[in-house]
Amino acid sequence: MTLPDGSQLDFSHPEAVYPGRLITFEGADGAGKTTQLQQVADWLRSSRILGDRPLVVTREPGGTALGQQLRHLLLSGDWAVVDRAELLLYAADRAQHVEEVLRPALAAGSLVLSDRFVDSTVAYQGFGRKQDLTLIQTLNRIATAGLTSDLTLWFDASLASCLARRQARSGPLDRLERSAGGFHQRVRDGFATLAHREPDRIRRVDANGDAITTFTAAQAVLLDRLESWWGTTCAPVSLGQGG
Ligand SMILES: Nc1ncnc2c1ncn2[C@@H]1O[C@H](COP(=O)(O)OP(=O)(O)OP(=O)(O)O)[C@@H](O)[C@H]1O
Ligand SMILES: [Mg+2]
């Protein structure tokens, strides 16, 4: 990154190629990310498809002790959070998460599944809150020190499905969920734009159907990627048959 005085700041890690891989689960509130992540983790564990490779399940915000405090500040309170403060709090959570959880896990060869990562910031704060996308990209680079996902599953369900699922889920809506409808449409457009831009890294998974149908679609993408990374082969396991 070039500073105003012309000097260079390099936040990237020289050892940025890791033996592990990072898969992120993205999509709108209520699309089913957490449901799918749990099903994928259960499948990977029970099928032993990863052999001795560790599986790490984490999330943003809130993947670290500091992050849990930040998550509370971001989502739970009735206090005002201006847009730039929201952006910076997410960046702080991410910086801690990357150094404390993601890099060590990837360096140890783990498969890491993260419930949200940088693409959420672009979709929510960039497209949803209409903040400057270049600024967001810069902040993301600082927060991640150049770490990117190896695969992102974008769970795409209609706004109506997401709303119905959020309402059916017990508990009050959080601060971002309470945002007006136009916001959620822009967030969806944001994920669509990102997926169009990076079709290899970001794969859309139709999340309008029931959880098993969605899982089957995600599993097909995952099997293909695991095979290309590690030559692992494993027949798809039907959830309905004890998989
Ligand atoms: N495919 C599906 N069909 C119907 N209901 C679903 C489906 N997937 C998840 N649900 C239900 O919808 C609700 C939202 O799902 P989930 O919490 O997994 O979404 P999420 O994307 O993680 O949401 P958030 O962004 O708020 O964390 C839950 O009550 C879940 O049981
Ligand atoms: Mg969730």
Tell me: pLDDT of 62 over 60: yes
pLDDT tens-digit series, residues 107-141: 999 999 999 999 999 999 999 999 999 999 999 99
Judged by average pLDDT, the poorest of 100-104, 161-165, 225-229 is 161-165
Judged by average pLDDT, the poorest of 105-114, 147-156, 164-173 is 164-173
pTM: 0.90
pLDDT band for position 242 (50/70/90)? very low
User: Residue 12 has what pLDDT?
Assistant: 58
First CA to last CA distance, the chain: 47
Q: In sequence order, what DSSP letters do the residues of the chain get, joined into one string?
A: -B-TTS-B-----TT---SSEEEEEEESTTSSHHHHHHHHHHHHHHHTTTTT--EEEEESS-SSHHHHHHHIIIII-SS---HHHHHHHHHHHHHHHIIIIIHHHHHTT-EEEEES-HHHHIIIIIIIT---HHHHHHHHHHHHTT---SEEEEEE--HHHHHHHHHHSSS---TTTTS-HHHHHHHHHHHHHHHHH-TTTEEEEE-SS-HHHHHHHHHHHHHHHHHHHH--------GGGT-
- 17 CA to centre of ligand 1 in angstroms: 33
Measured from CB, residues less than 6 Å from any atom of ligand 1 are 27, 29-35, 165, 168-169, 207, 210-211, 214
Ligand number, closest to the Cα atom of 166 = 1
User: Residue 233 has what pLDDT?
Assistant: 61
The stretch 204-229 carries a mean pLDDT of 97
Protein residues with C-beta less than 5 angstroms from the ion ligand 2: 34
Mean pLDDT across the chain: 90
